[in-house]
Structure 1
């Protein structure tokens, strides 16, 4: 491909370190030999730096950053969910933290269908699962941190007393004020200038959260009281945990939730607990890549890596037509499996994860890739034989294959594991334009669709000189948030990630005390048994697409961590959306729809169009990736933070 490069293609090559020398990036790489803190907001990165400077380890710093981003409403809040991967240098093991809330009592398919929903709602009290972030923070700090909750929450509490709010968040309050006015506690918090032309705070105005400050103060009081009674550091942190989930904070949370029509009970809060679990992992060319279990979409990246290991990606050339096509097809095959087989393993057992992550299954899936065209009918495979079982869903998969996709088109194909590509349906168009499958020829609302596809959160990465490494992707309770009474806590909206019908995903049908399958996907990688990368990104269903390409940029194309965070990626729309929209047509896959960077050369665009792709373009398509590379050779840390948003890092 290199002989065909045009001027528009040269920019893409600037990301590749062909000679081993540094190449230009918009943001500078970060370097440190003591610690590194990277997250979604500059003030939150500063919170992590403060914790490190006071002697905390990477877990302490991550908890400090988590408290700060929740307090800043960085597309999440305290009522959301937290999930993390931690490398413990004392054991040499990677552990996983599941602090995702579960569905409350009364949350059933029949309940939501009686209200006219095809999926649980996007917003409001009925969108809420139990809060997970307070419990997850307390658990990580108690078990793997070194500091007190009082020390770690100090930056967040200072911010709750009042901080200068940035334009992005302030404007989001103003833009969502019609919905925020539906909930009295949200209206009082987010719209302090009620009745004026602008009711939300202005950029730079001091934003005060008295109720949240009281909630955090109560947690710290519980901890400090326990310490006065000679409890250990760990016991004292769990005393704060209990006050949130079983004490007066819980009572006010439940009262405020139910007053506004929510379902969460005191029994639900008391029954929920964070889970420490074994992560999933695969080896890609000798590098061990770790993800959370199948209650997240994380294993889909591992599946894609297994498929792509069968091809010479470096030989194809960075973002060549063949490379883009191969990565797109591998992602679609992995997402087809995600869409049907993933779900909470603690309430719906039997997911075929051993088969899905086997190298043999990946080889059979790789055989499905046709290098002439996009496979518009990519379907879930049959991983059960690869773990010695018979697929119990054969008939359901056949029925699923004939689900209407609009315009008279069938669904996403019948199950397959090998052989030739399934014969595809007629393509929806050949131009670089998107059309609504439900009404042929009618343009869809691209901004709304892509808001749902990319729906953001934040990410947190931290590492220290002693070898502790942590990657976190917290979320939930984003604006517009329904605040639970006088707690100052925005309730999660993660209920929308459940389905109400087995035909979409039999492992992810809502029921009380089950966790929804989420898009949130922190990542760790080890090389030669030692930490190599921790990386994460916001962006809904695109998270593991962007993280996959970030990883390949470094491993296959020799980019530095900062180059890889900025390098242009491609995104596939050929999957069931996990967020947003309460109708089937809002979430159905869009075969062949692809996001490309503006730097994509004209000949690549033309080649992809001939192969059945329908393209949209963006200036920055990497996703807001945050990452840390552990440089074992020099005993130092490299930090990278994408040029795609407000993400920021500090190292020392």
Structure 2
């Protein structure tokens, strides 16, 4: 299979995520890969052919429209692998070709994206939904790290902080991704860890780094220089004008390779001793969290000012949980529990069920306004009520996800103007309780008077990646992993970048009494894979990059298909809106809501622009209004998969 070709139209990662990069993909039937073509070439083709779009095939499911897309839908009948980097998608395809199932392939893709620093690394966190065709159930995988020993609100306040830090060893929760991969593979995969990690290990030996990551390293080199182990890995040309790797340079990670080899060696030793496949994989898990890898990780973390201890690693466990679910017009939509922002999308669906969205029309004035108000309400609840369900107080999720609560919230929407003071609602009466935090509901709300700028947008859109996989046996996997992005602080000689997820905690319970930092607790994160079932069978599996925009984009992707009859590829490319009327989950001290601030597509008609301003909105317009969405649609009529991957960014799919 050919290597990926990478084109960087801007060296600013924030703008790469936020604006259209103009990098459609061209299908090459000879090798079942998409080869990236430059925007200039596509434009020239458009002039010659009279269209810049690829027509959708005529054999579409009934009711789906035939509007063209910039990138063709991906089709397969045996398996499908989609993720954030072309080489990582190839890793998934390799595992499928060797006979692995969707879980095996998803683990291989996740390992590869971590190795490529696709805005995450091995020390980050993994959030996944798995559909098990044997039980016909959706399983949640909670591989989020926890706050370490000593990480208390008082500790951070004593250092003059209003929030936990964004960068460095003090920002680190315990690593979750190694345990997440081992658990998913052991419980639901079919292959050995050695097989599944083989592509990532080959990449750690050396792979041609793509421009986006290479330029991100260069942009953040001064921060990277603060950490000796990061400096040694990332700055391959010290003292030169460009100290980061060049695009296409073979990027080598010897210490990460050694860490992965140690995990595989632990597995292989266990197999030689007669252990089962599952037991052998958990032997690798134990070596990472309790053995020599753990000791070096902790040493390197503490040397650089971090708090993580051996006990923190040894006591941490992956949690297999029952996802939360709401039924939207006969479709079951599943999200991970309230330690993620995922239930905000479920709340929004419940509210929107009270309106005739199809009659409003896609991105009409009424639709945009209703969406904005709904999302702002759901995120106000997210900001105040969501937290780790394994720590008291108990979040009022029954009330938050009740149809009656949603109907009450829907009735408060002013159809004529934006409400600049949307605050959390009171779900407690809808589960027969009295709200103990009524006095706090409006106390902490304070709108920001600062304009939206590049720094704000980078925090709101801060990228992750996504992994989607499905096979003909019925296994389906949706993953939104993250953590340990560039600039990452690497823990000693492990080659493992530490997570920065501590910043998603709060220190003041007035902001959110359910998400105050304490040792052993998981922060409320933005990471949010999604799965939908219809008639008891998988319908769509989908996820997206971006911070606080994730469930905004996923909500609209879902509605694009369900309400407006778009194909999965059309829905990934369609224009969205974004609300900034929420508290940022990532960043420094400036996190307050920006009432009325709304992102719209450049193609928004002038009459809608004028009317939105008259309704109290503060619009801004860009070509790109969503992070890259990756999705799989299940065409049960024809017994095939449809894959969708956004027409911008580096996300990529392969199917057979």
Fold conserved between structures, TM > 0.5: yes
Q: In the TM superposition, what is the alpha-carbon distance from 1:17 to its structure 2 partner?
A: 11
The partner residue of 1:597 within 601, 614, 623 is 601
Find the aligned partners of 1:45 and 1:399 in 2 and give their Cα distance: 47
Q: In the TM superposition, what is the alpha-carbon distance from 1:622 to its structure 2 partner?
A: 3.0
Find the aligned partners of 1:45 and 1:498 in 2 and give their Cα distance: 33
Aligned to 2:455: 448
Aligned to 1:91: 135
Aligned to 1:361: 405
Contact persistence 2:423–2:441 (CA under 8 A): no
TM-score for the superposition, normalised by structure 1: 0.91
Deviations, residues 315-362 of structure 1 (Å, cap 9, x unaligned): 001000000000111001100100000000011341000000000000
The partner residue of 1:125 within 149, 156, 169 is 169
Q: State the SS of the aligned residue for 1:513.
A: coil
Find the aligned partners of 1:86 and 1:468 in 2 and give their Cα distance: 7
Structure 1 stretches of at least 4 aligned residues deviating more than 6 Å after TM superposition:
14-19
Q: In the TM superposition, what is the alpha-carbon distance from 1:397 to its structure 2 partner?
A: 2.1
Q: In the TM superposition, what is the alpha-carbon distance from 1:621 to its structure 2 partner?
A: 1.3
Contact persistence 1:86–1:469 (CA under 8 A): yes
Aligned to 1:251: 295
Contact persistence 1:85–1:524 (CA under 8 A): yes
| 1:620 and 2:612 aligned | no
Find the aligned partners of 1:200 and 1:398 in 2 and give their Cα distance: 47
Find the aligned partners of 2:392 and 2:426 in 1 and give their Cα distance: 18
Find the aligned partners of 1:18 and 1:637 in 2 and give their Cα distance: 15
Aligned to 1:636: 640
Find the aligned partners of 2:168 and 2:322 in 1 and give their Cα distance: 33
Aligned to 1:507: 514
| 1:167 and 2:211 aligned | yes
Q: In the TM superposition, what is the alpha-carbon distance from 1:192 to its structure 2 partner?
A: 1.4
| 1:114 and 2:154 aligned | no
Aligned to 2:492: 485
Which segment drifts farther, 343-352 or 134-143? 343-352
The partner residue of 1:476 within 461, 465, 483 is 483
Deviations, residues 254-277 of structure 1 (Å, cap 9, x unaligned): 000000000000000001000000
> What are the equivalent positions in structure 2 for 1:305-454 lying under 5 Å apart?
305-401=349-445, 404-405=446-447, 437=449, 444=451, 446-454=453-461
The partner residue of 1:466 within 460, 465, 473 is 473
Find the aligned partners of 2:116 and 2:634 in 1 and give their Cα distance: 29
The partner residue of 2:232 within 183, 188, 192 is 188
Q: In the TM superposition, what is the alpha-carbon distance from 1:633 to its structure 2 partner?
A: 1.0
Find the aligned partners of 1:57 and 1:600 in 2 and give their Cα distance: 43
Structure 2, gaps ≥5 residues long:
1-51
Q: State the SS of the aligned residue for 1:491.
A: coil
Aligned to 2:577: 570
Find the aligned partners of 1:393 and 1:21 in 2 and give their Cα distance: 48
Q: RMSD across aligned C-alpha pairs, in angstroms? A: 1.6
Q: In the TM superposition, what is the alpha-carbon distance from 1:19 to its structure 2 partner?
A: 7.3
Q: In the TM superposition, what is the alpha-carbon distance from 1:649 to its structure 2 partner?
A: 0.3
Contact persistence 1:570–1:596 (CA under 8 A): yes
Find the aligned partners of 2:125 and 2:332 in 1 and give their Cα distance: 26
Q: In the TM superposition, what is the alpha-carbon distance from 1:533 to its structure 2 partner?
A: 0.4
Contact persistence 2:102–2:475 (CA under 8 A): yes
Count of residues in correspondence between the two structures: 602
The partner residue of 1:54 within 82, 87, 98 is 98
Q: In the TM superposition, what is the alpha-carbon distance from 1:447 to its structure 2 partner?
A: 0.7
Contact persistence 1:167–1:202 (CA under 8 A): yes
TM-score for the superposition, normalised by structure 2: 0.90
